Amino acid sequence: MNKNILLVCALAIAAVSCSDDYDDATSKHVYGENDNVSLNTSVGVWQSQTIEFVANNLSTCSINLYDYAADFKSQFGMTVDDVIKAVGDGSIKFRPIYTSSGQWVAEPYNNGIGWAFNLAGKVCDSKAGKVSVSLNQKNKTLDVVPAAGLSAGTAGEVNVGFAQRSNAYGTYDKYVRIQLPFTVTDKSVIMGTLPMAEGDYAGYEFFFQDNYDDQFMACMGMDAQTALNGLADGTVGFAVTDANGKAIESDYTADAGDGYYGYWFNSDAQICNWGDAGCAVYCDAELGERAIYFGRYPGYSGADMTIYTKLYLLADPEKCIRFIFTLQF
């Protein structure tokens, strides 16, 4: 009989200590100012901004925080300026979020007011980071900066957010979370197979229509016509390359002025001069026609060949557009 009474009492005590009452301090963890805080996905605001970096023209992506003004107002009752000031005094927390563990992570800043991240979205040493995210207080932006040398195909995701301690337990029930998936693409290559017309100096003219301007802007910071004009004013070069895009040093061997710049090639797709043994085709960048032109050497008829060239900024050769054209004879 006494054993049964003791068992009932023990169960009663256990029931009290495991209470789910929100206001029961014995049942809920109290987070300190520097603790990692659990991410409650049933509250707050969640936004996403996809970022595409260009491999040979990596540059900062600045996200305007005024785009989230309504979210800041709904969550904190604050303007963008108020939120930025509150980050400064600590009343609003700006933190990275680890989705794998479901936490707001109390990592100290290591990149201005922000952090460097690895491809897994975890804070890391700035030298090892693949991308960094920082709060630009002056411009009211989040600046997302890719590490130098990121190659095409690189992809990852970073999550950061602004949060406010919501109660005595220190939970973040009011927040604006910003998900930042990013990829690195290569817009620097234009490829094609070109059927060559028959006849001396006949061939194929590849025109840069307006739809190529976005590609030129992404890789060289200018449209196609401006890039071609740069051949005349000495800001842009036109080079033959190997299959990997490395420039082959050579003077122009075809036209070299008056709006035309180019090279002659032999049947092995190697640079040559007009009249050399095996001379097969020439390739000119044409300013006025906004095109690249391929023409046959008189009487030439042979196997298909692939020609590699590029337009590039003389001041920064990594900023370029590569051309890989297979000529069908």
Query: Tell me, what's the pLDDT at 27?
Result: 62
Indicate whether 211 and 85 sit together in one domain: no
Q: What are phi and psi of 80, to 5 degrees?
A: -60, -45
Of 185, 210, 244, the domain-final residue: 185
Res. 130: pLDDT tops 50: yes
The mean pLDDT value for 214-236 works out to 94
Cβ count near 170 (within 10 Å): 14
The mean pLDDT value for 123-146 works out to 96
74 and 83 Cβ atoms separated by less than 8 Å: no
Residue 15 resides in a domain: no
With cut-offs at 50, 70 and 90, classify the pLDDT of residue 13. very low
CA dihedral 216→219→221→225, nearest 10 degrees, is: -20
Express each pLDDT in 140-154 by its tens digit.
Answer: 999 999 999 898 889
In the block, tokens 């290591």 appear at 110
With cut-offs at 50, 70 and 90, classify the pLDDT of residue 254. very high
Res. 50: pLDDT tops 50: yes
How far is it, in rounded angstroms, from Cα 239 to Cα 88?
51
Residue 10 resides in a domain: no
Residue 49 resides in a domain: yes
Residue 224 resides in a domain: yes
Instruction: Provide the CATH number for the domain around residue 82.
Output: 2.60.40
Query: Tell me, what's the pLDDT at 2?
Result: 40
3-class SS of residue 67: helix
DSSP for residue 121 = S
- Tokens standing for residue 10: 């023990």
How much is the mean pLDDT over the chain? 89
Supply the Cα-derived Rg of the chain in whole angstroms: 31
Residue 151 resides in a domain: yes
Query: Tell me, what's the pLDDT at 141?
Result: 98
Residue 318 burial (10 A CB sphere; 0-12, 13-18, 19+): middle
Residue 9 resides in a domain: no
For residue 284, the surrounding DSSP H or E stretch is: strand 279-286
Of 185, 202, 221, the domain-final residue: 185
How far is it, in rounded angstroms, from Cα 31 to Cα 27?
13
Strand partners, 115: 133
Query: Tell me, what's the pLDDT at 169?
Result: 85
Indicate whether 196 and 104 sit together in one domain: no
Q: What are phi and psi of 140, to 5 degrees?
A: 60, 50
Indicate whether 96 and 172 sit together in one domain: yes
Q: How many domains does the chain have?
A: 2
Indicate whether 303 and 273 sit together in one domain: yes
Indicate whether 56 and 205 sit together in one domain: no
Of 134, 153, 185, the domain-final residue: 185
Indicate whether 318 and 205 sit together in one domain: yes
Query: Tell me, what's the pLDDT at 5?
Result: 35
Indicate whether 70 and 83 sit together in one domain: yes
Least confident of 21-25, 81-85, 223-227, 281-285: 21-25
Residue 237 burial (10 A CB sphere; 0-12, 13-18, 19+): middle
Indicate whether 193 and 145 sit together in one domain: no
Query: Tell me, what's the pLDDT at 262?
Result: 97
Indicate whether 215 and 177 sit together in one domain: no
Express each pLDDT in 189-199 by its tens digit.
Answer: 898 899 999 99
Res. 255: pLDDT tops 50: yes
Residue-range definition of the domain harbouring residue 54: 28-185
In one letter, which amino acid is 23? D
Express each pLDDT in 71-108 by its tens digit.
Answer: 999 999 999 999 999 999 999 999 999 999 999 999 99
Res. 182: pLDDT tops 70: yes
The mean pLDDT value for 302-324 works out to 94
